[in-house]
Amino acid sequence: MIRFEQVSKTYPGGHQALQKISFHIEAGEMAFLTGHSGAGKSTLLKLISIMERPSVGHVFINGHDLSAIGPRKVPYVRRDIGMIFQNHRLLKENSVFDNVALPLVIEGYGLKEIRKRVHTALDKVGLLDKERYYPHMLSGGEQQRVGIARAVVNTPPILLADEPTGNLDPKLSLDIMRLFEDFNSVGTSVLIATHDLGLIARMKYRTLTLKKGRMAEDGLTDNGHGEL
């Protein structure tokens, strides 16, 4: 589903953010991506969502070699990817409904289909009763769940999250992780970048560890107790 082959990324100015990264995340897999600040986590996610391009090597999504696709094909590949951000990036002036509907509006869906899909997505994150609220009326955890609903509203096979629990307390963070597990349990591939090692230790998933742009470790974190 996501494959990196000897990928390096050098930013203009010469900073090498990633060096010779290779890994494969299969369809339906859930994994963490960790490492210190500056290790290259965001860069790696940006290469998957085609916000950045590799300097060397290849990134494949769903069999498509991203270095071979032209600008006009980018939106089609991006459709397969739901992105979740630390600060959720909701539009303040828009209702919950409209925030979640946005990706479908951009894709030109009809209103009836939009309503159906938005309601399904809000139901999944437990916010069906708040569709008319505005972001400032919601708690931090609820705002993050709206961001997740928006990311899954067009049912992409891949979910990417960049520090999704960065602003949340441990209890809410675990709730968000359970939500990712729910999507993973119905076949969605999930890759979560986080430096929250405590959170990772409480779950039992493959963990890719970046150190100064290199893949330092790729394996299962096991705290010996399994899940909580």
Q: Which residues bind ligand ADP (CB under 6 A)?
A: 11, 13, 15, 17, 35, 37-43, 95, 97-98, 111, 115, 131
Rounded to a whole number of angstroms, the minimum distance from the CB of residue 170 to ligand ADP is 21
Please give the C-alpha separations between residue 164 and each of 6, 21, 81, 191, 224, in angstroms, as whole numbers. Answer: 27, 23, 15, 11, 25
Please report how the helices 96-106 and 140-152 are oriented relative to each other, as an axis angle in degrees rounded to 10. 20
**Minimum CB distance to ligand ADP smaller for 152 or for 210:** 210
With respect to ligand ADP, which residue has the nearer C-beta, 11 or 76?
Answer: 11
* Sign, CA torsion 38/40/45/49: positive
**Phi-psi label, residue 71: left if phi above 0, alpha if psi -120 to 50, beta otherwise:** alpha
Shorter beta-carbon distance to ligand ADP: residue 53 or 178? 53
Using DSSP, state whether 201 is helix, strand or coil.
helix
CB atoms closer than 10 angstroms to residue 92:
8
Minimal distance, residue 193 CB to ligand ADP, in Å: 7
In the bound state with ligand ADP, the residue whose beta carbon lies nearer, of 13 and 219, is 13
Cα dist. 107→80, 102, 123, 171 in Å?
13, 9, 22, 35
Q: For 169, what's the count of Cα atoms within 13 Å in the CB-facing half-sphere?
A: 2
What is the 8-class DSSP label of residue 204?
-
Q: CB of 40: closest distance to ligand ADP in angstroms?
A: 4
Which residue, 85 or 97, is less far from ligand ADP as judged by CB? 97
Instruction: Compute the chain's Rg from CA coordinates.
Output: 17
**Please, what is the minimum distance in Å from the beta carbon of residue 22 to ligand ADP?**
17
Least gap, CB of 115 to ligand ADP (angstroms): 5
Q: Which is nearer to ligand ADP, 131 or 196 (CB)?
A: 131
Least spacing, CB of residue 161 vs ligand ADP, in Å: 12
The conformation of residue 170, written as its DSSP 8-state character, comes to: H
